[in-house]
Amino acid sequence: MTRILMVCLGNICRSPLAHGILESKLNSLDFYIDSAGTAAYHIGNQPDHRSIKVAKQNGIDISHQRARQFKTVDFDTFDYIYAMDSSNFDNIVSLARNQNDIEKVKLFLEENPKVSNKDVPDPYYGDMGDFEYIFDLINTTSDLIASRLL
């Protein structure tokens, strides 16, 4: 079993999409996917309605997900920890206990050689077009991750 954690700030916009999208491409017997936020603002909340909507438009249901905060024990549970942007990356690494923890953390878009800006833009203050843009970015990158893992 390979365990992969997607992390953003609030765990309501970007990482729930990355969680649902990658999960839809992998066999659940071999892969466990989860998501978390570095901040505590939205603990227990459903994903943002715009993330739920764009996922649904693309055949993926993320409405059952609930936000949680990243915790140090996640370094023990997960094999790969993907940060949606460099600020999330720094926040996760600041909680690492050793080099082994740090080596699990990677910028999600580092898996996509076609994009030069390695931050998934935060769509929280944006509109539906921003959510459609990040859906496509996360979907394309998840295809690359899935093909590398399979």
Q: Which of 8, 48, 50, 74 is catalytic?
A: 8
Least CB distance from residue 53 to ligand 4NP, whole Å? 15
- 3 forms beta bridges with 32
Identify the three-state secondary structure at position 78.
Answer: coil
Report yes or no: 38 and 74 within 8 Å, Cβ to Cβ: no
Report yes or no: 37 and 68 within 8 Å, Cβ to Cβ: yes
Residue whose CB is less far from ligand 4NP, 12 or 62 = 12
Residue whose CB is less far from ligand 4NP, 8 or 62 = 8
Q: Which of 34, 48, 74, 122 is catalytic?
A: 122
Give the binding site for ligand 4NP (CB under 6 A).
Answer: 8-14, 37, 41, 122, 124
Q: Which of 14, 34, 50, 74 is catalytic?
A: 14
Residue whose CB is less far from ligand 4NP, 13 or 26 = 13
Q: Measured between alpha carbons, how far is 147 from 132 in angstroms, rounded to an integer?
A: 23
Residue whose CB is less far from ligand 4NP, 76 or 110 = 110
Q: Is 13 a catalytic residue?
A: no
Least CB distance from residue 134 to ligand 4NP, whole Å? 8
Q: Is 14 a catalytic residue?
A: yes
- Select the residue whose beta carbon is closest to ligand 4NP and give its number: 10
Distances in whole angstroms, Cα of residue 37 to Cα of each of 16, 57, 63, 133 = 10, 24, 17, 21
Distances in whole angstroms, Cα of residue 56 to Cα of each of 9, 17, 63, 73, 77 = 22, 10, 9, 31, 29
Catalytic positions, please?
A: 8, 14, 122
